[in-house]
Amino acid sequence: MRTRLFATTIAFAMSGAAALAAQAGPLQLERPIPYPVTPSVAFARAVEAGTRSASGEPGPRYWQQWTDYSIRARLDADNRRIDGTVQMVYHNNSPRPLPLLALQLLQNVHAEGVVRNRPAEVTGGMEIVRLVIQGEDIPDASTSGGRMGTAGGYLTLGTRMMVRVPRAVQPGDSVLIEVEFGFDIPRGGAGNRMGWNDDNLFYLAYWYPQMAVFDDVVGWHTDDFLGSAEFYMGYGNYNVTLEVPEGWTVIGTGSLTNADEVLPAEILGRLHRAEASDAVVHVLTPEDFGPGRATNTAASGYLAWTFAADSVRDVAYSVTRESRWDAARTPVGDRDGDGAADYARVDAIWREEAPRWANAWRYGQHSIDFLSRWTGLPYPYPHMTSVEGGGIMGGGMEYPMMTLIGDYTQAGDTALYGVHAHELAHMWVPMIVGTDERRRSWMDEGTTSFNTSAAENEFYPGRRWELENYQGYLQLAGTDLEGEIMRFSDYHTNGAAYGTASYSKPATLLWTLHGLLSEDTFLEAYRTYIQRWAYKHPKPWDLFNTFNDVTGQNLDWFWRTWYYETWTLDQAIEDVRLVDGGTRITIADRGLAPMPVRLTITTADGTIQREEVPVDIWLTGIRSTEIVVSTGSPIVRIEIDTEQVFPDTDRSNNVWERR
């Protein structure tokens, strides 16, 4: 079959009813027309204040807060408990004095009586032993009926702590906060995102008091963590020391700064070889397990592991004593602009009962390499570590430089690669592009699901992996179960609505936009968004405005249709007949979501001709239109959206064939 494109004459005509409706005025429109995107009042005020912009760039007066953390904690493996102290230097970069501070105590999702939207083990939550601000002890206001006087006080409310400081933190100033804390580690904590399994694995996440986000749009973010919708965290620098029993290996966010103190020379040598090797190096094997082999020993029976991490939003750590450790390097692109490739180390930490993990290092290696190229932003961190967490985690969860993933013994190798690609894609969103997962889970999960299928397309070629997202969305599309993407994430009425609005639908829409704009145009806008908002906090309108800005198109019809509504797409070929001048094709738009109509027209001599009805025709409020196509040979087949770029709910009416 031969394919060629040639010029043709197209005539657009409204159907008679549609023409009359258009003449009758807006009350007679046959369909709703998407009105312009209206940002929240708070976002509009931020644009006026110069912290945001109508172009999608951070405004000239953009600011965000910063925290320097110093944490020291001890893991009591026998009693499954953490006790420690965190010192936070909180920098107020905002233009406002702050008489109140907000902290996150995420372990309190396990406290008795807190509000949750999924079951959780009750362990008592986080115990606050002492709170000190600028050297002054701050009292617990719950002992005085919840009243916080001018001298200061704190009140724990669910997963947040509100603190009245003795003196307001002025713009440009900082405050030293010290918290002594402890908690019993739940088996499957924070919605099965941390915890312990058997007697050989701890995964420590959401494990210390942390500053809540105070941003230029909302102010203090004090939404409780209920168990489902995830996290919104500010950036900072961390120095962390974990004291763990000898024989237990610790890997986590940041660089291990005292490796020679905790790792034997042989193990450390293997680790250094892995950092320069494209092939796997077995850093730890079963023959290495135990004190004096996997780790050094100490007179106290405890080793202090020290990590440093810059410009991250959180820290998490795996503590294992019977896990293999595989490692290799992976290219990430040119981080420093010197023209040479830079590398990061990838680690796979796994136990014997998860044999599929023998290839996990390779899955991490490809994912980081691909995603650095796809996003246009080289992976910035020294390592990326995947930890097998069967018994805690069934799927996967992301943390800066870390991911916890189930054993995937039953799911298979393809699924294990897919979850690696997904969790590692989260290193870009929300770890680098710091979105608000608590309110807008689609901004990270939808984007990450989009990135995942792109990675799968390269690793497993020959299949369009993005169509899995389309199928997931279309299962719910048009039913009463679906909720709008722009709804706050914890306020979907059912789990299916949350999953569709957070994962499959926004991923589908990015692929739709990719096809609508062309890959080059899409990637230019997409990468610009990532570059603009790296280590910052974008809102939905920053994404929308960036695409409008970079493409030079007003895509508000797209954003309004797909993100604010639950309208669906159903384009159909309604009639085909010969007329003077060619073949008249009548196209009906039976859904509410307007999209261009892309026609593939096949003639008897094998010629393929492509035509497009612009979206503007539907934005006039009509339901059907006609085009007249001139061809040199009789038309034998017409199909709408042959490439399946757009999420049409009924493809049975997309094809006409001459009988």
Is the model's pLDDT at 619 over the cut of 90? yes
The structure tokens listed for 358 are: 């023998």
The neighbouring-strand residues paired with 584 are 577, 628
Q: Which amino acid is at 655?
A: V
Virtual CA dihedral for 43, 523, 6, 601, nearest 10 degrees?
-80
Is the separation of the CB atoms in 621 and 635 below 8 Å?
no
Distance CA 401, CA 318 (A): 12
The structure tokens listed for 277 are: 């090797």
pLDDT value at position 16? 35
pLDDT band at 512 (very low <50, low <70, confident <90, very high): very high
The dihedral sign for the CA sequence 550, 553, 554, 556: negative
CA angle 616, 622, 624 (to 5 degrees): 95
Is the model's pLDDT at 431 over the cut of 50? yes
Distances 12 to 19, 372, 598, 616, 626 between C-alpha atoms, Å: 12, 44, 14, 12, 5
The string of pLDDT tens digits covering residues 532-553 is 999 999 999 999 999 999 999 9
pLDDT value at position 28? 74
The dihedral sign for the CA sequence 302, 303, 308, 313: negative
The neighbouring-strand residues paired with 402 are 385, 399
Q: Is the peptide bond before 430 cis (omega within 30 degrees of 0)?
A: yes
Is the model's pLDDT at 15 over the cut of 90? no
Q: Count of CB atoms within 10 A of residue 194's CB?
A: 27
Is the separation of the CB atoms in 248 and 293 below 8 Å?
no
Residue of 370, 426, 418 whose CA lies nearest to 398: 426
Non-local (6+) Cβ contacts of 624 within 8 A are 14, 15, 18, 574, 586, 587, 588, 589
Is the model's pLDDT at 19 over the cut of 60? no
Report the chain's mean pLDDT, rounded to a whole number.
94
Residue of 271, 214, 189, 259 whose CA lies nearest to 91: 214
Distance CA 515, CA 643 (A): 9
Distance CA 112, CA 186 (A): 13
CA angle 253, 251, 448 (to 5 degrees): 50
How much of the chain exceeds pLDDT 90, in percent? 93
Distance CA 448, CA 471 (A): 17
The string of pLDDT tens digits covering residues 317-335 is 999 999 999 999 999 999 9
* pLDDT, average across residues 443-451: 98
Is the separation of the CB atoms in 321 and 247 below 8 Å?
yes
pLDDT band at 7 (very low <50, low <70, confident <90, very high): very low
The neighbouring-strand residues paired with 90 are 67, 175
Distance CA 278, CA 269 (A): 16
Residue of 315, 294, 299, 308 whose CA lies nearest to 249: 294
pLDDT band at 199 (very low <50, low <70, confident <90, very high): very high
pLDDT value at position 594? 98
Is the model's pLDDT at 24 over the cut of 50? no
Distance CA 562, CA 565 (A): 6
Question: Can you state the angle between helices 505-517 and 467-476, rounded to 10 degrees?
Answer: 120
Kindly report the backbone phi and psi dihedral angles of residue 248, in degrees, each rounded to the nearest multiple of 5, phi listed first.
Answer: -100, 130
Which residue reads 């020391």 in tokens?
Answer: 241
The dihedral sign for the CA sequence 88, 89, 91, 96: positive
* pLDDT, average across residues 481-501: 96
Q: How remote is the C-alpha of 60 from its chain's centroid?
A: 26
The structure tokens listed for 149 are: 């006087």
pLDDT value at position 150? 73
Distance CA 465, CA 462 (A): 9
Question: pTM of this prediction?
Answer: 0.94
